[in-house]
Each structure stands twice: as structure tokens, then as C-alpha cells.
Chains A and B, each alone.
Chain A
Amino acid sequence: MSDALDRPATILVLGGTSDIALATVRAMRSPALSRLVLAARPSPARDETVTLLESEGFSGVEALDFDAADTSSHEELLDAAFDSTDLDVVIVAFGVLGDQQDFEDNPDHAVEAAQVNYVGGVSVCLRVAQRMRAQGHGSIVVLSSVAGERARRSNFVYGSTKAGLDALASGLADASQGTGVHVLVVRPGFVHTSMTAHLEAAPLSATPEQVADAVVSGLRRGSTVVYVPAALRVVMSGLRHLPRAVFRRLPI
């Protein structure tokens, strides 16, 4: 149960090695935090993350095996995560960015990305929501993207997976009203992470720490959607209403 200062005692990160998720758990850290579960594919990166967080003084850090694309394993995984304690915050942070040209050349790769980002997201969001309703409280943080708000020529496959996830999470947020469960949809623009290190930064880019701060304040205020940086809300509102013929020609 998060306390009166909105400090969670337990956090589950799905996609436990994500830079944004790590920045977020650091921002949520307090003496109240007693259990932090990192669910990710078994990898040296996951082990390093556990070691790193422990060296920073986090206690109760656990790792669980999680494959976003293998939805048949999710029920068991979440049973294990919810078994010993309530979970106050679950961060849905996994996702693949891929390469637009590769997706167009190899549609199988696009299907795989959709399997992870969207299908995996549907699977965990709905299962987590069920369990949180049973415990009567909890917050689900879903990392969406402005790329899903209006798909762009330059990354519409990735954008479409995030569009699906965003629609699912937004609907779940509405469906969760009055259940004690809160869903926060996070729409960052370009974020400087290991996933985007090879790309040129877009305007209004953000750091993982900025995303983390927006998540913490969004949870505190009970927001349904936060943009990072906040100015993107206005920019996206403009882009959404541009005539398609103009939008298509924009160098974005």
C-alpha cells in the first residue's frame, strides 16, 4: 500500500532493465520501499541491474524471468510476483523500437515487434489490473509514446504498436475508475536511452530522469495521461489536427 505521501512499498517493473524504469524506481525510492521486483529476460544486463541497484542501497531486489512475447507464461509470472505481498506500483516498461526500413523489408520482424509491444502489453496490463482490483488498490504505469498518437512515415510500425498499447491503457484507466486502481499513461517524446543511443535526438527530447519525475508527479496528482516534456501535449494537439497532406510532408 502506498503511504499518505504516495510512497510505494512494493514495485514491479516489467522490462526490468529499461533506462526509464530504472530512473523511475530511483525517483520513487524512500524508506517505505521494501520490495522491488525486476521482471526481464534472464541476461547479464538483468543481473548487472540487480547488482547496481543493490549497490545503490535498494533492499528487497528480486529478479523474475519474463518474456513479453510469450503471453502464455504471463499468468504464472504475475502469480509469482503478487504472491508474497501486494504490489503498489507496476511499471510496464518493455518494448522494442526496431527499424522502420527493416520492418518494411521483413514483415516478420514487424509482427514480432507488435507481439512484444502491443500483444505483450495487452496481456500484462489486463492481468495486472485483475490482481490489483482484487487487492483493492495499486497503480499501473504504462510507458506509451507520442509516436502512437499519430503514426509518422518515419516509424509507423513502432507507432502503431504504441497506438494499440496506448488505446488499451487509456481504456483500462477509464474502466478502473472507482476500483481503487489507477492507470497512468506516459507519453514521452524522444528519450535519451540505450534504446535510442544510435538515433539523432528529436526536438523536445527528454532524459529518463525527466520521465521519472513526470511519472511521480502524475501518480501523486492522479493523472491519466502525462506528456514528457509537458509541452508535447500542445505540440501533439497541433500535429493531430494537421491535414494529412501537410503532416505527411513534415520532416519528422
Chain B
Amino acid sequence: MPSLAKVAQPRTVHEVAQLVIAAGPRGVLARGAGRTYGDGAQNGGGTVLDLAAFDSIDLCDDGDVIAGAGVVLGHLVPRLLDRGRFLPVTPGTRWITVGGAVAADVHGKNHHVDSSFGAHVRWLDLLTADGEVRRLSPTDADPRLFHATMGGMGLTGVLLAARFATIEAPTASVRVTTMRVDDLDRLMALMVDNDNAHRYSVAWVDAMSRGRRLGRGVLTLGDHARPDEVLQARRGSGVAGGRLADEPRLTAPQVPVSPLNRLSLAAFNEAWFRRAPRLREAEIVGIAPYFYPLDAVGGWNRLYGQGGFLQYQFAVPDSGSDVVRRTLERLSALRAPSFLSVLKRFGPGRTQSPLSFPLAGWTLAIDLPARTPGLGAVLDQLDEEVLVAGGRLYLAKDSRAVPATITAGYPRLGEFRAVKNDVDPRGVFVSDLSRRLAL
């Protein structure tokens, strides 16, 4: 059951400052678009700031963007594409805000090449507990507050705006190579071999398949397409270019009983797997279907019914790559209905930021219905394996870890706390997540 907070919608920096200074014992938290899977954007009994009014977008001549914290990436992307630019990093949905991207230091399919969002941020405007606005940059003499804020889940202050770099995107399409792979070992080997040749790389894994087919999946490797490639593709087969609809094409209804069960999802995963080609090279795909496939179905999360779902996402170094296999083994043995899961290689993490999630190696993300019998105990065991392998859980996705798991996975949590304590000695900025995990 979600917690209840007062939501305020400040329109000016002054109003934000007043709300922060007037914060009661339950504190304040800024919230983005509310897409976090766990309780990171909730503050039970306290105040939650909706910064939707901070939606200014300024496209600079050097290709940078200055965006308000409330800017939704999905509204920024079309304007960038008009100029032949694209987000330096984008997660799997475009309906998150710039503030959320900073708070979670989000990563995308290009992490192995381009790192996470924080690597592209020039500066942040952060309103701290004293009501002052500080401009923070990674080149500051003391960049600790900047780095604590990147990935800091909104606990260092209220982000007002950020300036970040963009990348070149000559068209609104991506040139994609797709490979269907029958088992996990081959899939992981292919990813190791091919990743560096492509800007984008991600594998969708069938988390319900077992035995010899365990971890079968579809690897997609992508690069921004050149105009001549798009033209050629249009002439040949009439492949769509970069359609980027604002609204989802379908909307999932609120359902009393979830239609997602073991049989329906196993059938879906099977059909999806069979539909993928063994090997297809140089297909031209629009930005939206490539980066944001789930955005095509609005409110897809509702399909899980009242019981809801959770996502388990961890990162482990290469030396712990067998944790990926064991996770799929354990979770497929639960016979939980699970949509396609995501497997991806990470490049080096941004070690400057104590709470930034990515670390060089592998990350796996699996959606699971929360009411799956036995799920809690299995995930608790997997936490142990992730930690032993030197890995960690993603705070932006977590909804069930215990404090010790986070402390062990983020060995520099103490540094984060020191910076936070310095800038927010009263502990004004809190969330249900920070209380649950004693951050």
C-alpha cells in the first residue's frame, strides 16, 4: 500500500525555498514523473514537490541543453532530433524528467560506450536545505556535492535545472542488427564480442525459459543511422523513419485480475522469441520503437493487477557473471510469470558518485509479480550472491532490499552520508526509500 504525502506544486524558486525551509518533521522530497519502480519518489507523511512548472528548455549553440528539472525527456527528444541531436543517455522510457535522470544517474543501452547520465552533465542548480541555490559542477574545487547529487536519489536537495551535453543524431532512426540466441552462454559471449563495435547494445532475455533454453534471448546492436541509409531503407521496403508519437498508441486498462499468468506470458515470450530473426543486419528502425518499446502501451504496469510487480535489477563485475545464470535459474524455478527481461553490459562506473549504480560488468533487470509465492526468500538469497560477487542493487528500482544489502553494495555510502550531513544537517530531504534503507 502506498504512503500518503502532501504534494506541492511550486512555480518559482522562491516557492521551492519556502517549502524547504518550512519543512516539518517528515521532510521534503522532489519528485520527477513518478516512474520509479520502488519508493524512491515517495515521502509518507511529508511533503513532495512536483516540479512540473520547471519545464524550460534552452538549446545552446554548442549542442548542450539547459533544462528545468521538470522537463520530461519525451518532450525534449523531438526538439533535439530537429537539430540533429539526441540525449547522451536515455533509459527505457522517455517519460522521466531531467530531475529523475540526475537523481538516479540513469543509464541506457550505450553505457558501455558513453557511461551514465552524470558523465554528460556540465552543471546542476541545486536548492539545498538552507534555501540557497548552488551551481555545482564536476570541475568545482570541491565537487563532492555534485557527485553525491548524481545518483543521490534527491536526498541532497531539490534539483532546479541542469546543463548537459547531447550527442549527434543525423536522423531519427537507428541502424539495428538483431541476433536470436538459443542459450545464455552464447548470448553473453556474443555481447562481449560485439559490444564495442556498436554504440547501443542490449539483450532481451526470456526469463521463463528453463533447462537448455535458459536465458535464451535476442541481442540488438544499434547505431544512429545516416540519412542515406534511411533513404535507401524507405525506397526498398517502406520502413518507417523516426515517428515519435507523443501519446501511447494503446492504453492498458485497470484490471481486477491480472491477465498476466504463467501460460499467457510463456506464450507471449515464445511468440516474441520466434518472431525475432536468427540474424538480421542493418535494419532501419525509428528512435521510439528502438529505445522505448514499452512506451507504446500506456500504463502497461497496470496489467499486473492490484498485486503489483517489482523489478529486480543488479549489477555484477565480469568476475561474477555466473550470478546472471543463477538468477535466471532461481527465478525461472519459481515459475513466476515474467515479461522479457533485460541483460546489458556496463562499461566502467562513475566512481566519483558514491551512489551511482553502474559498475563494469553485467546488469540484469527482471519484472516479477509481487505476489509470487516464495519470491522474498529467493531474492534475499540472490542479494547475497550479488554482494559476494562484488555487485549491487539499483536504488531507483529497489522496493524490498534491507539496509545491510545497500551498505555492502555501496561501500562509499559513508562518503555520501558525510556530504549529505554537511549540506542537510537537519535531514530535511527524506524519502520512503531513504527511511527504509537508512540512507
Interface positions of B (Cβ within 8 A of A): 1-5, 26, 38-39, 43-46, 306, 308, 310, 370-371, 375-376, 380, 399-400, 402-403, 432, 435-436
Contact = CB atoms under 8 A, between A and B. Distances in A.
B5 A136 contact: yes
Contacts of A3: 399-400, 436
A135 B44 contact: yes
B1 A137 contact: yes
Interface in A1-55: 1-7, 9, 30-32, 34
Given A30-B376, A179-B4, A222-B1, A1 B400 contact: no
Contacts of B371: 220
Q: Is the interface of A mostly helix, strand, loop or mixed?
A: loop
A178 to B, nearest CB: 7
A166 to B, nearest CB: 22
Nearest to B43: A136
A34 B438 CA distance: 11
B1 A182 contact: yes
28 contacts: A1-B3, A1-B39, A1-B432, A1-B435, A2-B1, A3-B399, A4-B38, A4-B310, A4-B399, A5-B310, A5-B370, A5-B375, A9-B436, A30-B380, A86-B435, A135-B44, A136-B4, A136-B5, A136-B26, A137-B3, A137-B44, A137-B432, A180-B1, A180-B3, A180-B4, A182-B1, A222-B1, A222-B306
Contacts of B432: 1, 137
Contacts of B46: 136
Contact of B26 (A5, A34, A134, A182): A134
Nearest to B432: A1
B376 A7 contact: yes
A45 B239 CA distance: 76
A5 B307 CA distance: 9
Nearest to B435: A1
Q: 5 closest pairs, A vs B, by CB? A: A136-B44, A180-B4, A136-B45, A4-B399, A137-B3
A30 B287 CA distance: 44
Interface string A74-109: 000000000000100000000000000000000000
Contacts of B3: 1, 135-137, 180
Given A1-B435, A179-B4, A7 B400 contact: yes
B400 A5 contact: yes
Nearest to A9: B436
B45 A135 contact: yes
Interface in A96-138: 133-137
Contacts of A178: 4
B436 A4 contact: no
B4 A31 contact: no
Interface of A: 1-7, 9, 30-32, 34, 86, 133-137, 139, 178-180, 182, 220, 222
A4 B368 CA distance: 11
A139 B3 CA distance: 11
B376 A5 contact: yes
Nearest to B5: A136
A37 B312 CA distance: 31
Contacts of B402: 31-32, 34
A135 B26 contact: yes
Given A180-B44, A182-B1, 11 more contacts: A1-B44, A4-B399, A30-B380, A133-B45, A134-B26, A135-B26, A136-B3, A136-B43, A137-B3, A137-B44, A179-B4
Q: Is the interface of B mostly helix, strand, loop or mixed?
A: loop
B232 to A, nearest CB: 48
Nearest to A139: B1
Contacts of B380: 30-31
A220 B403 CA distance: 23
Contacts of B306: 222
A133 B5 CA distance: 10
Contacts of B308: 4
A43 B403 CA distance: 34
Nearest to A217: B371
A32 B46 CA distance: 23
A226 to B, nearest CB: 16
Contacts of B38: 4
A178 B436 CA distance: 22
A32 B44 contact: no
A134 B25 CA distance: 10
B368 to A, nearest CB: 10
A86 B435 CA distance: 9
Nearest to A179: B4
Contacts of A179: 4
Nearest to A182: B1
A158 to B, nearest CB: 32
B118 to A, nearest CB: 27
A112 to B, nearest CB: 37
A134 B436 CA distance: 17
A226 B400 CA distance: 26
A79 B38 CA distance: 29
A114 B375 CA distance: 43
A2 B45 CA distance: 15
A4 B5 CA distance: 18
A6 B310 CA distance: 12
Contacts of B39: 1, 4
A178 B1 CA distance: 10
Nearest to B6: A136
A134 B3 CA distance: 11
A1 B3 CA distance: 9
